[in-house]
Structure 1
Amino acid sequence: MRTATDYLHAQFHSGTRVATLLHLRARFMDAMLGALWDSQEWAGASPALVAVGGYGRGELHPHSDVDILLLLEQDSECCHAPLEQFLTLLWDVGLNIGHSVRTVSECCQKARKDITVLTNLMESRVIRGPEALMAQVREQTGPGRMWPSPDFFRAKLQEQQQRHAKFADTEYNLEPNVKSSPGGLRDLQIIAWIAERHFGADSLESMDTGEFLTVDEREVLLRGRDFMWQVRYALHMIAGREEDRLLFDHQRELASMWGFKDGKKLAVEQFMQTYYRWALALGELNELLIQNFDQVILRAHTLDEVRVLNERFQIRNGYIEALRDDLFSRDPGALLEVFVLAGRHSGIIGVGTPTIRLIRENRHLVDSEFRADPRNRENFLQILRSPYRMTRLLRSMSRYGILGNYLPEFGRIVGQMQHDLFHTYTVDAHTLEVIHYMRRFQKPEFDERFPVSSRVARRLPKIELLYIAGLFHDIGKGRGGDHSELGAVDAERFCLDHGLSQRDSNLVVWLVRNHLTMSAVSQRKDISDPEVIQQFAHHVGDQNRLDYLFTLTVADINGTNPTLWNAWRGSLLRQLYTGTRRALRRGLENPVDKQVWIDETRNAAIDLLEYRGFTVDELEELWREQGEDYFLRERSEDIAWHTEAIAGHYDRDKPLVLIRNSSDSSVANTTQIFIHARSHAQLFSRVCAELEQLDLSVHDARIYNARDGMSLDTFFVLNSDGSSIAVESSRFRHIRDHLSRALADNMNRADPVQRLTPRQMKSFPVPTETSITVDTIKHVSVLEVSSPDRPGLLARIGQILVDFGIELQAAKIQTLGERVEDVFFITDSQQDPITDPELTEAIQREIRRQLDLVAE
């Protein structure tokens, strides 16, 4: 087996067509299975050995499962023993076997219930045994007996739609699946299965080039399949196992295999753009053929429903189509009008296949003269105001090449990779996904998931301004420089060219320039501080800008990576939005007095605690050593919770650990851990290390050092996978007991955290960034650390501060997605800011060295 694999791999490297290698591997497997089959004593029984699935098609990749059906006669008891021996032999020689043992009637029963079983049976070959058994299966599972071609088509179309939805309906995922992503091999198999079920075509090669495909399109289909086969074969070869995902780990090696070299673009980007071009081409052909099949299979015996829209377009069976083949060459403006009409009429499913072909043939007419035409400019704005399917229209325009030609800046980001840990899609796909979320905010079915964004989006006076900002917010990427500033310049030119008022233009430009601001403030600033809220309110200026920016920010985060959005991140933005709205309503000239804020919190806590039997004098004594930051950042309910527990905890040499699910909407979904213990240099590092050992992820931490030598620390945590901790007393008790024991231990240094670094981090070694500045108001130094989240990160930083004799006064910890934006307020041992430039540089250098060393 290994000799055959080595031979085939050598042939791959020498340039042999992968189609040949796949068929050779299948034939080799036929010979091996046949020989093992022939070695058995079947004692007069006549079972059949049948290849099914991809192996049945005669296409076998290096590590794909070898799917076989052991087909039995109804009375087959005598062959059970040799069948078991046969399967044991297959496992002994190390084959990846997927097998089923069934009679003819069992095959038919399962195929009737499960279309996947039926599809496997459609791609079957008898390797050994009587052909008659399989002939019975084919006869009884044919479209005349079950799954007639209309039902088969609907089921396969639904299957494809569900599969595409898992990949956000785009070919442009940064780690696409060469088999299952849109434009991948499964899209071609869907076409082949439908063609076989309805037309009897036994392969893509045998499909007619008249009714469904042009000669050029079939050539693209077959060449694209060969490319995808080649990529999949190489992936299996590199990974040494079945691997269909184009993971970052493998993309560079594939780029080298394809002969790409780093230049203006990285070799890996050149390879991936080649992949995207083929995926897009195959996705287009899949769309054309599915639409053709829909007309022929589902509408075969019905009259066409035709409605004329104007002298240029009509709707046929739900698809808009041009009335003349020379429409676009005679009137190029109709290239946008077709999408205006498609967005204006609710009954239109999409663009008809013949018209799609005409659009592709004439898209070169969208040039500078076309873009300068006032009619075309107005039509483009009308598309953005479409009441129906606006996102799908933009995606179709991008797919057919119209959007990139009309907005050349957008054309430059088509297929552009974003080599980082956070983005899931290329820049253009991300942009359209952002607009997709903007549209979702206006649909009632998403109210529960996005309650605030939905309400805010619906009251925006001109929703198209939000879409324009979405189109341009990342359009400056890949040019060097600040993409927000570059995009703002492009957005301003677009707005002025398209006749927007100066006020609307200014809003769009401001949104593009500031599209990262709200996210940065919510994640990196102390948004419980009224001064931070006041500064942000001054920056925003008015409620209208705040509403647009909030909606753009939420859409941008969701369109970046679906896993980044959670209740925690939503709560931060909601808290910033609500606080800023109050500041704007109060008036920018009337900021909240910090002392008033503190007094209100203290008084509210007193009211709660007096009800529980405390006197004001007792509370003043308990709080005498607390700094003002504690009452500025903590809620009165939490202060009351802390105070009551501290008052009843008499042994201060033993740490007090409290735990509960947070009731604060601003830290929704998290579990709140409060620790009251004697302050010492190792405390923060120890707590962080122990939390990670408990498989908990810190999402916020508030550190307060009281003047009596005690530390009051609050940590907001989730499970390491980002999920909430279930409300179970046993889990809470385990966390509390573990922390209490660990912190009471006399060991000074934290135990090292043992956890594997995520594979993506190894592929993208993003360097740690640090800075140290002095906050003259708070009389502390501010250490900022921006880094991919790494195992033991907080514990390492805490230990480094200890090693340098630095005291941690407070911290703002934000772990969001795979990146941390942490702020530490530090002093020297005399509680003074750190001003020695050599010392500040040494601290930062050590942090960068240790954190980046973890990722290697």
Structure 2
Amino acid sequence: MQTVIQSAIQDLHFKKQQAIEHYRAKRLPMVFFESYGKALETALGALWQEIFAGSALCLLATGGFGRGEMYPGSDLDLAVVAAHPLSEAEQEKVASFVQTLWDMQLAPAIKAGSIDELCQSAQDDITSDTAFLEARFICGSHIIAERTLQRMSLQRDTAAFIEAKLVEMQQRHAKAQGSGAVLEPNVKTCPGGLRDIHTMLWLAKAQGLDAEVHTLISQGIITRAEAGMLMNSHKQLAKIRIDLHLTAGREEDRLIFDLQTQVAESMDLRDDAQYIKSEKLMRTLYRATKTVKQLNGILLPMLRGRVYSRLPRIVHNIDEDYYQVGNQIAAKDKKLFAQKPTHIFKIIQILQSRNDITTIAPQTLRGWWAASQKINRRFYENPVNRERFIGFFKQGSGLTHVARFLNLYGVLGRYLPAWGKIVGLLQHDLFHIYPVDDHILMVLRNMRRLAMDAHSHELPFASALMHGFDKQYILYLAALFHDIAKGRGGDHAQQGIADARAFAADHFLSEEESSLLTWLVEDHLLMSSTAQKEDIQDPDVIARFCAHVKTQERLTALYLLTVADIRGTNPKLWNDWKASLLENLFHSARRHLAGETSSRTVIVSRRQQRAVDLLTQTNTPEKQQQQLWQALGPAYFVRHELQEILWHTANLVHNTDTPQTRTRFLPASDTLQVMVFMPNAPKLFARLSRIFSHHGLNILAARAFVTAHNYILDTFIVQIPPQHEHPDYPNLQSALEAELNNFIHGCRSEEDDTTCGIRSRRSRHLPIAPGIRLMPEEDYPGWYTLELVAVNRPYLLANIAEVLSEQEISLRYAKVSTLDERVEDSFVLYSPHLDNPKNQLELKQALFEQLSN
């Protein structure tokens, strides 16, 4: 027996390797499936004869093996079936069979039992029922195999099965959210992935249809053109999954960063001047999944509609061209869109305006999609089409659904050629997680939600501003155009102006509306850049910002666009701290534009007076107040906002010579504000930053300040990272405070001072080039502004501060901006010896070494 088994194992491994080598040479996934499948059947037949010879059992291939789609690392789905419950001897044989398959490194997934037991299992579990839907005979008793498959088919409730698979697909799609799913998609389960193709075939097979493509064509389920698209997408996705398994040396269905480049190379993709090989791979995946999603919109409703529904079929006449059936809109003439192209937008207009219609009937969608492929310049220039297109934005309700639908079926890209260039365009900047078109549609969605009463609880302040804004459709258009020039090289904000201006002129916008739209496109990054990179407590910064904004209308529009943009870039970027920054900048700018302008002297006086009022209310002696103001110095009130000042002064007023640290959670957030007050000394900022990294905290913002009496008063905003699934906030806060107190009283060792953090997998495989700018401050000799752009990692801020300390440079102010896996930091430095070019070069080289680690 051992000799036969050993021979079967060797033969299988040899034939599998042959199939792999042939696949690598010819790149034909269906040929690989056939060759590998036959090799498996031969090996299983040999094992069966050795282990189950003479028994009245049968072996069925189920799941992917039954479907004839075995990938190199996939589980081997099988069923061992008997007419009656397995005897003890039969169970031992099954156990021996399974162990042998494990010894062959085949990862068997086996169901074993009687016909009754397996039929009950299929009734209880939709996954088991689906596996048996694709079952086929391998060896053993033909009679038992036929009885099993017949019983399975007879007991299956087709309508219930179809509904269950559609719900399962919706749940699978809902799980495929967030940065991980977008950046490292699962080729098998992502929206438009292989599992969606399988779902189409399951729905056909459950109805007794042959799931072969040619049969589906003859049945009128799918057209030849659609069949070609489906087969091509299946082929592309199958190739990627095969290469994933071969590259990883195991079953790996996620296109993780570590494997993207290798898989791209195996597909013979190469870097060029425009795209790196991994970007080309992801665009291939994106196009394939998009095609599957397009076909899903037609084929799934069509297959579902073939099955009897318990709901009555209610038909209403809409007008001379359309009728409503259930929640669908259908055209009376399938050739309507080809003969009258203006209806391509008219049906969308009806869909948008009717709450009782949620989708287009599949046959109508098929005709609409075919006609939309012919959208050209003539279609664009038709004023009827232009009126309807701009009407989508003026209508507002249902806009997100309309825009996503038009993008999915390629209509946006045909109507607006500039849009076609950004479809599937990836952004490897370490903070965008969506392709450009998906990002824009997320921003549009966010903007719409601000206008909807049902979502006003999410961002009450922004929603209130949106409800009071007269020209909401201009904001929707700004969302559509703000990144439309990405990928062209150069400044996309500047290049997008011409696209927005031409669109405005073509779509009947007034000069005033056009001016607001183009300004928003040009300056859509202004507010986020100012809030995150500049000191918005400085009245000069506010004055410069307002000189660019000019009007209250622009300010409100820019604020709303900025909020929607950040929230549509990456869920990790939006937090309460960032929200408060933008809101503070908005209020300061609104006061300035309203004429409440003040000099630095007045601002300092006003902030100091508020602090005096607070301390006076708490009966703090005037002498202690004066000592505090002298210790802090006048620059303190310029660098800090009022709430920080009130918090600091309440804690510091009673003793300006004793080190202390305080922490507090910002309201309803996972964000902690930390204050450290102690005598100045070398490397303090670096060592403090290291403590936060040691506790796994993300440093969102930091403000370094040296008082007039040479104490540091450093303020940090740190965030508990999302990997803390159920964080114990009080304990985390207590542990941090304990270590900070040890530090300020000299009780903490420095043995870990050389620790350097590890980059994320994403940044290792898709890095960005570090950026360093060192600029002298005008009229202030010895003062410099340092701006850094780099990959984020633990301890980065500490390492930067250590470089500055080693170069004997005084860090007077830090503005840290953390954008997921990217940082954009700004520092104010004092160092007279930097006027020597040699010293500047040494600083840049030392910083570059740290940023490149």
Does the TM-score normalized on the shorter chain lie above 0.5? yes
Which residue matches 1:814?
Answer: 817
In structure 2, how many angstroms separate the alpha carbons of the residues matched to 1:160 and 1:508? Answer: 39
Bigger shift: residues 669-678 or 763-772: 669-678
Correspondence for 1:763: 765
User: Any idea what SS the aligned residue of 1:416 has?
Assistant: coil
- Superposed CA offset, 1:262-297 (max 9, x none): 456436354444443333322222211112123222
Partners of 1:682 and 1:749 within 8 A in 2: no
Residue pair 1:750, 1:795 contacting (<8 A) in 2 also? no
SS of the residue 1:681 aligns to: coil
How far is the alpha carbon of 1:502 from its aligned partner? 0.6
The answer (yes or no) to whether the contact 1:196–1:203 under 8 Å persists in 2 is no
Shift of 1:642: 4.5
Show CA shifts across 1:427-465 (max 9, x none).
222222221222222334433333333222222212221
Counterpart residue number, 2:327: 318
Among residues 259, 278, 290, which one is paired with 2:288 in the alignment? Answer: 278
| Conserved 8 A contact 1:45-1:78 | no
Question: Could you say which residue in structure 1 is the equivalent of 2:739?
Answer: 738
Of 211, 220, 239, 2:220 maps to 211
Give the match for residue 624 of structure 2.
618
Which residue matches 2:702?
Answer: 701
**Residue among 3, 25, 49 paired with 1:14:** 25
- Residues 549-591 of structure 1, C-alpha deviations (whole Å, 9 max, x = no match): 222222222322233333333332223223333333x32xx31
- Identify the match of residue 660 of structure 2 among 642, 656, 671: 656
Which position in structure 1 is the counterpart of 2:9? Answer: none
Whole-angstrom distance in 1 between the partners of 2:169 and 2:597 = 56
Any residues of structure 2 matched to 1:697-846 within 5 Å, and which?
697-721=698-722, 726=727, 728-742=729-743, 744=746, 751-776=753-778, 780-828=783-831, 832=832, 834-846=834-846
Q: Structure 1 residues 784 and 722, CA, compared in 2 at 3 Å: closer, same or farther?
A: farther
Partner SS for 1:527:
coil
C-alpha deviation, 1:800, in angstroms: 0.8
| 1:218 Cα offset (Å) | 2.1
Q: Distance in 1 between matches of 2:19 and 2:198?
A: 24
State the TM-score, normalized to the length of structure 2.
0.89
The equivalent residue for 1:582 is 591
Q: Distance in 2 between matches of 1:197 and 1:724?
A: 41
Tell me whether 1:327 sits opposite 2:336 in the alignment: yes
Kindly indicate whether the alpha-carbon contact (under 8 Å) linking 1:696 and 1:719 is maintained by their aligned counterparts in 2: yes
Q: Give ranges in structure 1 of 5+ residues lacking alignment.
A: none
Deviations 1:475-517 (A, max 9, x none): 1122222111111111111111222111001000001001111
Aligned 8 A contact 1:49 1:129 in 2: yes
Identity of aligned residues (%): 31
Q: Of the candidates 228, 233, 236, which is equivalent to residue 245 of structure 2?
A: 236
**Cα distance in structure 1, aligned partners of 2:638 and 2:646:** 14
Q: Which amino acid aligns with 1:761?
A: S
C-alpha separation in 2, matches of 1:645 and 1:69? 72
Question: 1:191 Cα deviation (Å)?
Answer: 0.6
2: distance between equivalents of 1:471 and 1:771?
Answer: 32
Deviations 1:122-154 (A, max 9, x none): 233455655666666545554x545x2222222
Alignment pair present for 1:291 and 2:301: yes
1:772 partner amino acid? L
Q: Deviations over 1:758-809 (max 9, x none)?
A: 1111222211112122334777311111222123211111111112111111
| Structure 1 counterpart of 2:169 | 160
Q: Deviations over 1:669-704 (max 9, x none)?
A: 311222222211211111112221221111111211
Alpha carbons of 1:429 and 1:330: their partners in 2 closer, same or farther (altered >3 Å)? Answer: same
User: Residues of 1 paired with 2:137 and 2:438: CA distance?
Assistant: 44
Check conservation: 2:756, 2:799, Cα contact below 8 A.
no
Write the distance in 2 (CA, Å) between the matches of 1:569 and 1:34: 64
Q: For the residues of structure 1 that align with 2:125 and 2:379, how far apart are their CA atoms?
A: 52
The equivalences for 1:363-402 within 5 A come to: 363=372, 365-402=374-411
TM-score normalized with structure 1 length: 0.89
Q: Secondary structure at the match of 1:183?
A: coil
C-alpha deviation, 1:747, in angstroms: 6.0
Q: Distance in 1 between matches of 2:392 and 2:657?
A: 70
Check whether the contact 1:568–1:669 (CA below 8 A) recurs between aligned residues: no
CA gap of 1:329–1:139, structure 2 versus 1, over 3 A, is closer
**Count of aligned residue pairs for this structure pair:** 837
Alpha-carbon offset, residue 201 of structure 1? 2.7
Name the aligned partner's letter for residue 592 of structure 1: S
Contact 1:670–1:725, Cα closer than 8 Å, also in 2: no
Question: Is 1:353 paired with 2:362?
Answer: yes
- Report the counterpart of residue 688 of structure 1 in structure 2: 689
Describe the SS at the equivalent of 2:323. strand
* 1:21-44 deviation per Cα after TM superposition (whole angstroms, max 9, x unaligned): 2233334344545555665589x9
Q: Distance in 1 between matches of 2:629 and 2:808?
A: 28
Spell out, residue by residue over 1:365-408, the C-alpha distance to the aligned partner (whole angstroms, 9 max, x if none).
Answer: 43223322222211211122235432222233233333222212
Alpha-carbon distance in structure 2 between the residues aligned to 1:459 and 1:17: 59
Q: CA deviation at 1:739?
A: 3.4
3-state SS of 1:179 partner: coil
Which piece of structure 1 moves more, 109-118 or 341-350? 109-118
Return closer, same or farther for 1:100/1:444 CA change in 2, 3 Å cut-off. farther
Q: Secondary structure at the match of 2:705?
A: strand
> What residue is the counterpart of 1:150 in the other structure?
159
Distance of 2:448 and 2:48 partners within structure 1: 59
Distance 2:571 2:145 in 1: 45
For residues 801 and 824 of structure 1, the distance between their equivalents in structure 2, rounded to whole angstroms, comes to 10
Distance 1:169 1:716 in 2: 24
Match of 1:849, as an amino acid?
E
Q: Is the 2:678–2:713 Cα contact (8 Å) retained in structure 1?
A: yes
